[in-house]
Amino acid sequence: MRYGMAIDLKRCVGCYGCQLSCKAEHGTPPGVLFARVLKREFGTFPNTQLVYLPTLCFHCTSAPCVDVCPTGASHYREGGVVDVTTDDCVGCRACMQACPYGARFFNETQTGYFPGQGLTPYEERRYSKENVGVVMKCNFCIDRVKAGLEPACVANCAARARTFGDLDDPQSEVAQLVRLRGGEQLQPELGTHPNVYYLPPA
């Protein structure tokens, strides 16, 4: 079992649905974005192009963030999911420096979206003090997956650009997409063996 994801760049419309649904699912504070959409403009008018790159933790098979963690807080879970045990994290941020994909975020203080006004009732309910002073990251919504659901970013993708499943199962949709569409990893030369694949737009 090796959980993985395929993101179809032909289908992605850059709506930020994945980013917002992830924040709603995990109740992450400001500045913490497990899923995010990077946008970049290329060219000069009138020959311009807007390119989207939806990213998240790539749950690498050889995750450098796991190797550098001094406490073992960063670890592999079932299906190769890379996760952080909050209670063991000392907040040294070595994993953030080791991750080539910027998938980890340090939650330095308990701040809300409305500075100077305290936390809203929603924020008070969703933000955990246990997450302050530690590093936070995507865990492929493993609790949802164990309950038979898709990760929030997959379930809420309006364009159905994301496909989640077992990469080790050749019959799974994600494995077939990667195989048939020529799925590409981001920066494979780094040797991290990411388990998130991008399906090229053309």
The residue (of 94 and 142) whose beta carbon lies closer to another protein is: 94
Minimum distance of another protein from residue 2's CB (angstroms) = 21
Residues 56-95 as x/- pattern, contact with another protein by CB under 8 A = --------x-xxxxxxxx--------------xxxxxxx-
**Contact residue for another protein among 98, 142, 155, 159 (CB under 8 A):** 98
- Contact region with another protein (CB under 8 A), list: 3-11, 49-57, 146-154, 159-167: 49-57
Tokens representing 104? 């980890």
CA 188, distance to chain mean position in Å, is 17
**Contact residue for another protein among 61, 110, 111, 185 (CB under 8 A):** 111
Selection from 106, 79, 68 nearest residue 167 by Cα: 79
Minimum distance of another protein from residue 78's CB (angstroms) = 20
- CA within 13 Å, CB half, 20: 7
Tokens representing 131? 């997450």
Name every residue whose Cβ is closer than 8 Å to that of residue 156 and which is 6 or more positions away in sequence. Answer: 17, 18, 20, 21
199 is an interface residue for another protein by CB under 8 A = no
133 is an interface residue for another protein by CB under 8 A = yes
Selection from 192, 189, 162, 173 nearest residue 37 by Cα: 162
Minimum distance of another protein from residue 179's CB (angstroms) = 24
Q: Which 8-state DSSP code applies to residue 40? A: E
Other CB atoms closer than 10 Å to residue 129's CB: what's the count? 7
Which residues form the interface with another protein (CB under 8 A)? Answer: 29-31, 33, 36, 38-40, 42-44, 46-49, 51, 53, 55, 64, 66-73, 88-94, 96-102, 105-106, 108-109, 111, 132-135, 186-187, 190, 192
